[in-house]
């Protein structure tokens, strides 16, 4: 069975469709009959809208992976829970979610949705479903931590990112060491929106080892231009809401 990765939330969306582009990121992994949502985006209503127009029923999603505490990636979980009756497994940083209004620094879950999420702490390598891996945390120079997803289908491996404010070199090497395969695709953002050209060059030099790059969210316009300056126009593809990557 072919593994598919669909962008369901991003600043950009496919033109000529009813899909909404909004700040944040979320991707749906479909593998071996399982559906896993990697991050949720920021706004409940936009996530719900895009799921509806992509014909993705919230009740068919088997689990959620939340890679970091940034609301752009985590806040719309409440909206997903609202669309469901049954509880769902959520893999996320420890203590990220709580009831709305009770604690600052936590993402709120409404009273009506409390209990619909079964939380699992991310820390070391996890494999919640065969071929779908969650990495440990990687930290940027300011101490901000995030995890990545690595999806394997046969000999091919895709790394999914939610922010990538850390340089991706160790992520790439650790995924190769863990899975025994060189990553063939990198999908999602790299945090270059406010970075200078030399930083973009450093990212580009690292990402050049991966054949397929699909970049979105917080890369920013200048960041994308700088990546393409180093890697070529065709070397860095957009990944907007409605875009699908097939891993086979």
Domain at 198, CATH number: 3.60.15.10
- Structural domain containing residue 129: 3-247
**pTM score, two decimals?**
0.95
CA 8, 13, 14, 20 dihedral sign is positive
Mean pLDDT of 91-106: 69
DSSP one-letter code for 217 = G
pLDDT at 106: 59
- CA triplet 170, 146, 227: central angle to 5 degrees? 60
Total domains present in the chain:
1
Token couple for 166:
């850390």
Q: State the DSSP code for 218.
A: G
Range 102-117 burial, b when 16+ CB lie within 10 A, else e: eeeebbbbeeebeebb
Least confident of 42-56, 65-79, 94-108, 225-239: 94-108
- Integer Cα distance of 227 and 156 in angstroms: 23
Reduce the DSSP state of residue 35 to 3 states and report it. strand
For 64-96, how does the pLDDT look when each residue is reduced to its tens digit (9 = 90+)?
999 999 999 999 999 999 999 999 999 999 888
Instruction: Tell me the C-alpha distance between 150 and 185, whole Å.
Output: 10
Q: What is the pLDDT of residue 104?
A: 42
The dihedral over CA atoms of 116, 121, 127, 133, expressed in degrees to the nearest 10, equals: 100
What is the structure's pLDDT at 248? 82
């Amino acid at each position: 069975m072919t593994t598919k990765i669909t962008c369901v939330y991003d600043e950009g969306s496919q033109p000529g469709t009813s899909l909404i582009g909004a700040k944040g990121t979320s991707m749906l992994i479909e593998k071996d009959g399982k559906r896993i949502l990697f991050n949720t985006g920021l706004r409940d209503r936009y996530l719900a809208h895009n799921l509806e127009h992509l014909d993705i029923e919230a009740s068919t999603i088997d689990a959620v992976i939340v890679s970091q505490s940034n609301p752009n990636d985590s806040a719309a979980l409440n909206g997903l829970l609202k669309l469901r009756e049954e509880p769902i497994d959520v893999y996320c940083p420890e203590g990220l979610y709580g009831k709305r209004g009770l604690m600052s620094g936590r993402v709120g879950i409404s009273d009506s949705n409390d209990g619909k999420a079964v939380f699992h702490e991310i820390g070391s390598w996890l494999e919640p479903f065969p071929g779908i891996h969650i990495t440990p945390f990687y930290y940027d120079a300011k101490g901000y931590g995030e995890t990545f997803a690595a999806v394997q289908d046969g000999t091919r491996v895709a790394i999914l990112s939610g922010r990538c404010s850390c340089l991706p070199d160790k992520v790439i090497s650790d995924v190769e060491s863990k899975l025994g395969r060189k990553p063939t695709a990198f999908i999602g953002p790299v945090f270059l929106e406010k970075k200078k050209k030399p930083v973009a060059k450093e990212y580009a030099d690292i990402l050049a080892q991966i054949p397929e790059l699909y970049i979105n969210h917080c890369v920013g316009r200048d960041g994308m231009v700088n990546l393409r300056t180093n890697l070529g126009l065709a070397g860095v593809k957009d990944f907007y809401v409605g875009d699908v990557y097939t891993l086979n």
